[in-house]
């Protein structure tokens, strides 16, 4: 065999070995490719861009049930939007809606009754507001009138007329609903003053301390159904809930204020062996009409798709957060277009 032929054969064999080696992958190479593929499949979705870097949320006072809700809202939105700074400001139902009209906040928690008053120019609103738009109704709030259990002289609405009454934040929806309820009994603020009574306002935590210390006689606040601040009082003192008469409750509901009634379930407070009738409001989330449709669509979507966060932070309230009741107390025409788009998408609206 010639040297030339031998060289050709050896070259062919070498090429075959090189091709074979190049066509095979080592275990580490295969594993690396699989890891890269898995990583690309599991990569987090790109965050949504907010309309602005800042979202100001009007909350309730410290010690209220609204404050932890808006805390969780802030966290959900900062996690879901790219570079968003969401902050909450202490306020009340009425003051939040007025602040939105002035452009001081873009998002708020408030009552449906005050929302309707705001857009119609009734109640505490001298003129109709144009900026508030509905995002969602979320849960019923039991308006609770309480005193300490050892105040034997306070058992009915008639008994509180001559007392020092704490009503929560002055520009909140609670005082508005309280006075509308009192109208059913024929009482107003002047009646209380003439009887020697007094009215104080402030955040719920302060009100609870004032009740415990004897600086006020009666505490009025909203809960679902328990009022957080009253539960804190129960660590050292027992409270007593004042019932509202059925005749007054039925009349109040018929007025068209967006106020209804329900029973505070037995066992909501220590020593409460029976259901106690009271008036109720619906808590809702409201956004400014200045926000664009796509942004509010995502605000709505992120709220409803993060229920696990609310179930963790506010379990007693979050159990009522359902799409079935998202329009309780409001109607479709009151929704922001972005919220309406989401509800149509999930078939919550026809």
Indicate if 113 and 184 belong to the same structural domain. no
Q: Most distant CA pair in the chain: distance in Å?
A: 130
Domain residues for the domain of 225 are 141-281
C-alpha–C-alpha distance, residues 184 and 165, integer Å: 18
Indicate if 297 and 273 belong to the same structural domain. no
CATH of the domain at 269: 3.40.190.10
Average pLDDT, whole number, for the chain? 87
Instruction: Specify the long-range contacts of residues 68-75, CB closer than 8 Å, at least 24 apart.
Output: 68/313, 68/314, 69/109, 69/138, 69/310, 69/313, 69/314, 69/317, 70/109, 71/313, 72/309, 72/310, 72/313, 72/314, 73/107, 73/285, 73/303, 75/309
What is the tens place of the pLDDT at every residue in 267-308? 999 999 999 999 999 999 999 999 999 999 999 999 999 999
What is the tens place of the pLDDT at every residue in 146-188? 999 999 999 999 999 999 999 998 877 889 999 999 999 999 9
Domain count, the chain: 2
What is the arithmetic mean of pLDDT over 332-336?
95
Give the three-class secondary structure for 151.
coil
**For residue 44, is it within any domain?**
no
Whether the pLDDT of residue 45 is over 90: the answer is: no
Is the pTM higher than 0.85? The answer reads: no
Domain boundary among 241, 264, 281: 281
Whether the pLDDT of residue 14 is over 80: the answer is: no
Q: Quote the Cα angle for 278-248-319, to 5°.
A: 25
Indicate if 237 and 277 belong to the same structural domain. yes
Indicate if 289 and 303 belong to the same structural domain. yes
Please give the radius of gyration of the chain, using alpha carbons only, rounded to the nearest integer: 30
- Give the contacts of 83 (CB within 8 A, at least 6 positions apart): 50, 53
Check residue 35 and give its pLDDT.
Answer: 39
| Higher pLDDT, residue 16 or 324 | 324
Indicate if 194 and 160 belong to the same structural domain. yes
Indicate if 288 and 275 belong to the same structural domain. no
């Amino acid at each position: 065999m010639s040297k030339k032929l031998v060289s050709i054969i050896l070259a062919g064999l070498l090429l075959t070995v090189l091709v074979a080696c190049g066509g095979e992958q080592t275990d580490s190479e295969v594993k690396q490719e699989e890891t890269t593929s898995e990583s690309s499949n599991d990569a987090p979705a790109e965050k949504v861009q907010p309309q602005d870097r800042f979202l100001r949320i009007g909350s309730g006072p410290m010690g209220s049930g609204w404050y932890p809700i808006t805390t969780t809202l802030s966290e959900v939105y900062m996690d879901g939007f790219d570079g968003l700074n969401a902050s909450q400001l202490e306020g009340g139902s009425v003051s939040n809606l007025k602040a939105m009209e002035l452009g001081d906040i873009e998002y708020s928690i408030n009552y449906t009754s005050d929302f309707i008053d705001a857009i119609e120019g009734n109640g505490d609103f001298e003129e109709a507001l144009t900026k508030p738009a509905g995002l969602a109704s979320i849960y019923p709030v039991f308006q609770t009138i309480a005193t300490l259990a050892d105040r034997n002289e306070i058992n009915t609405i008639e008994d509180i007329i001559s007392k020092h009454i704490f009503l929560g934040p002055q520009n909140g929806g609670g005082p508005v609903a309280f006075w509308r309820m009192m109208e059913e009994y024929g009482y107003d603020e002047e009646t209380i003053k003439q009887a020697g009574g007094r009215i104080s306002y402030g955040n719920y935590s302060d009100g609870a301390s004032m009740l415990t210390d004897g600086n006020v006689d009666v505490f009025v606040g909203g809960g679902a159904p328990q009022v957080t601040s009253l539960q804190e009082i129960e660590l050292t003192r027992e409270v007593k809930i004042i019932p509202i008469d059925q005749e007054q409750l039925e009349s109040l509901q018929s007025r068209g204020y967006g106020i209804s009634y329900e029973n505070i379930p037995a066992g909501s407070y220590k020593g409460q062996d029976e259901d106690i009738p009271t008036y109720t409001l619906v808590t809702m989330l409201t956004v400014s009409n200045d926000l664009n449709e796509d942004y509010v669509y995502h605000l709505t979507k992120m709220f409803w798709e993060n229920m696990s966060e609310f179930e963790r932070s506010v379990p007693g309230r979050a159990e009522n957060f359902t799409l079935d009741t998202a329009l309780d107390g409001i109607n479709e025409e009151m929704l922001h277009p972005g919220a309406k788009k989401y509800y149509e998408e999930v078939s919550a609206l026809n």
